[in-house]
Amino acid sequence: MEANSSSFKIILGSSSVARRKILSEMGYEFTVMSADIDEKAIRKEKPEELVVALAEAKAEAIISNLQKNHTHEEEADPTILIAADTVVIYEGVIREKPAGKEEARQFMKDYSGGHAATLGSVFVTNLKTGFRKGEWDRVEIFFHEIPDEVIDKLVEEGNVLNVAGGLIIEHPFILPYVKKVVGTTDSVMGLPKALTERLLKEAI
């Protein structure tokens, strides 16, 4: 199934600006829906299991809302729902969004001169056939020393408070201090393109 195909509709189950941008870059048209879930209530021992479970929970919440509104049942063409989640792993510990500015600052100080990994999941559901599948993608990120004043600027600006692990590698403040990325930037930003493309093809 080629990109831009009009034989199916796509719902992106995320309010993330970065995910919307990535899916647009892939050539797809889509609508956006998001669902609030209690992420803290979902716990798994392995981060790979957690990140897929979080995306699945988002998908289930959106499907529940759709069923209440009966918005897709009469559609002739299949509707594909894409949900995603990202967590950061630092020294074996899972990091989600910082609780506040102090935690965000500490996260950034930890990354300075060190490294972290992101785990990004994609969970795709075909609302017509019932097909459901989720997988994950891992990226390793290595940093140069990050000056305190750069960390302070990032924290005060506030964007780092809204992302897993306070980790934004595409931000112009932080970009000069990114030493190496083993994997793809789109995965770090929240939607691994290759994985999304593959799951979409399987879902059709």
Q: Who's near 204: CB < 8 A, 6+ residues apart?
A: 1, 7, 8, 78, 80, 126
b (16+ CB within 10 A) / e for 141-161:
bebeebeeebbeebbeeeebb
How far is residue 71 CA from its own chain's centroid?
Answer: 25
Rounded to 5, what percent of the chain is helix, strand, coil? Answer: 40, 25, 35
At 100 the three-state DSSP class reads coil
CB 169 within 8 Å of CB 139:
no
Is 85 considered catalytic here? yes
At 183 the three-state DSSP class reads coil
Structure tokens at 184: 């793809």
Q: Which of 85, 110, 137, 186 is catalytic?
A: 85
Active site residues: 85
